[in-house]
């Protein structure tokens, strides 16, 4: 007897490459059949067979308030009745930009786009146009979307599929992409020295989320900021995951480091497809129509997406206690898993910052992609499937961070900790 998910997956493969519209959903890393979802509410998703799951993905981050959060869904419905797309400016776009500026430090101007990939691609183009240089540095395991320039040692999805060289990405593009190990300031400094006066930008996830959750070691981001100041390099923070999740002002506020440009996504869409990039006026004024660096998008500033994002951000701004509650819940999960794994005498590392957390079955600290790849990811796959059977939905890859939502309650965390305990006591 086949499950509805198995039937749907078989059907999907006849019309969709690999049966999915984003590769990590295919469960290639963990094995088995992907779970097809039908609905979601609060902290829970329900699959095509009617089984409910506690959700630790939350659409890869944006559902910080929980699924189908009533004020957000109502705002979407009401706005849709006024028209779904104009291809012309609206007042709501201004209000969204003003709200982002009021929450995020060091952002003078904001350009809305339709995805995190588009935001990062545009920010890099802007940095190149502003500096007149072509090369940029990214970090092994950091993922900035699937634009050609970013797919060199990109972690997450490409790591899941063991793709080291991506077909379709030209040698010329790759030559301008320099990579360093995350959390290694000495290697970065040497890389800059070897490419003196050729580097337009350094782009980084200030808290990595695509090799599991990996926070920066003390002094690392401060060192990068100082290096960029010294060498005239544009520092880009990819806050597609961390923006408005770690704090009202994202990682810049949480970690006390200012970037020159920042990219956003996830939370600012309230669950709809949205991205944005912003930063210092001195740099942003080079974007067309103010400047000659071209960037455009028919659906940029789409009114439905703007309303979903604006409503979500306004709730977060007006209710700062949400971040405190998320910290308490995340800390409770962290401590519970720590107790379970310690008792099981299984080598492990739990990395967490705010409501981003991941478990690595490793004997040594996990501070970069090589450390994450060296962990016992076969054990993670077994752990994943056990919890999935127990109605707990983790990211289907050891190279992805977990995201908590404000809709979770203590009983959900207790159920998760108990399931982990039973997995290790078998």
Of 47, 55, 238, 412, the catalytic one is 238
Indicate the helix (H) or strand (E) that contains 310: helix 303-318
Residue 118 makes CB contacts below 8 A (sequence gap 6+) with 145, 275, 297
- Bond preceding residue 289 cis, omega within 30 of 0: yes
Catalytic status, residue 314: no
Of 266, 280, 323, 393, the catalytic one is 266
Name the 3-class secondary structure at 210: coil
Task: Provide the CB-side half-sphere exposure for 174 (13 A, CA).
Answer: 12
Of 44, 56, 143, 220, the catalytic one is 143
Catalytic status, residue 238: yes
Residue 49 makes CB contacts below 8 A (sequence gap 6+) with 3, 4, 5
369 is written with which tokens? Answer: 């992609």
Catalytic status, residue 229: no
Closest CA to 313 of 37, 107, 143: 107
Indicate the helix (H) or strand (E) that contains 276: strand 275-279
Query: b/e for 47-77, b at 16 or more Cβ within 10 A?
Result: bbeebebbbbbbbbbbbbbbbebeebeebbe
Q: Would you please indicate which residues are annotated as catalytic (active-site) residues?
A: 143, 238, 266
């Amino acid at each position: 007897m086949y499950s509805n998910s198995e039937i749907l997956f078989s059907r999907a493969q006849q019309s969709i490459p690999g049966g999915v519209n984003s590769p990590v959903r295919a469960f290639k890393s963990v094995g088995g059949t992907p779970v097809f979802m039908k609905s979601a509410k609060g902290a829970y998703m329900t699959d095509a067979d009617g089984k409910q799951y506690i959700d630790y993905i939350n659409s890869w981050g944006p559902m910080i308030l929980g699924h189908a959060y009533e004020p957000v869904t109502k705002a979407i419905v009401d706005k849709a009745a006024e028209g779904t797309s104009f291809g012309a400016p609206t007042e709501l776009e201004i209000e969204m930009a003003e709200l982002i500026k009021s929450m995020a430090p060091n952002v003078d101007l904001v350009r809305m786009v339709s995805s995190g990939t588009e935001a990062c691609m545009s920010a890099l183009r802007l940095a190149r146009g502003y500096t007149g240089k072509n090369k940029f540095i990214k970090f092994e395991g950091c993922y900035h979307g699937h634009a050609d320039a970013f797919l060199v040692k990109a972690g997450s999805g490409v790591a899941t599929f063991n793709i080291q060289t991506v077909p379709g990405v030209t040698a010329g593009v790759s030559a301008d992409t320099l990579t360093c190990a995350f959390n290694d300031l000495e290697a970065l400094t040497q890389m800059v020295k070897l490419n003196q006066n050729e580097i337009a930008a350094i782009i980084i996830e200030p808290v990595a989320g695509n090799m599991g959750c990996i926070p920066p070691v003390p002094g690392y981001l401060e060192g990068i900021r100082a290096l960029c100041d010294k060498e005239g390099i544009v520092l880009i923070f990819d806050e597609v995951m961390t923006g408005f999740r770690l704090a009202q002002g994202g990682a810049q506020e949480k970690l006390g480091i200012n970037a020159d440009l920042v990219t956003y996504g996830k939370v600012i869409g309230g669950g709809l497809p949205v991205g944005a990039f912003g930063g210092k006026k001195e740099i942003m004024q080079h974007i067309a129509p103010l400047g000659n660096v071209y960037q455009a998008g028919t659906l940029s500033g789409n009114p439905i997406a703007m309303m979903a994002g604006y409503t979500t951000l306004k709730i977060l701004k007006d209710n700062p206690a949400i971040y405190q509650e998320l910290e308490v819940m995340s800390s409770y999960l962290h401590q519970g898993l720590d107790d379970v794994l310690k008792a099981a005498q299984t080598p492990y590392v739990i990395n967490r910052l705010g409501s981003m957390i991941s478990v690595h079955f490793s004997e040594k600290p996990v501070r970069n992609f090589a450390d994450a790849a060296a962990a016992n990811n076969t054990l993670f796959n077994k752990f994943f499937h056990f919890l999935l059977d127990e109605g707990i939905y983790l990211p289907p890859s050891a190279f992805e961070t977990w995201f908590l939502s404000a809709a979770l309650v203590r009983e959900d965390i207790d159920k998760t900790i108990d399931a982990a305990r039973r997995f290790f006591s078998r």
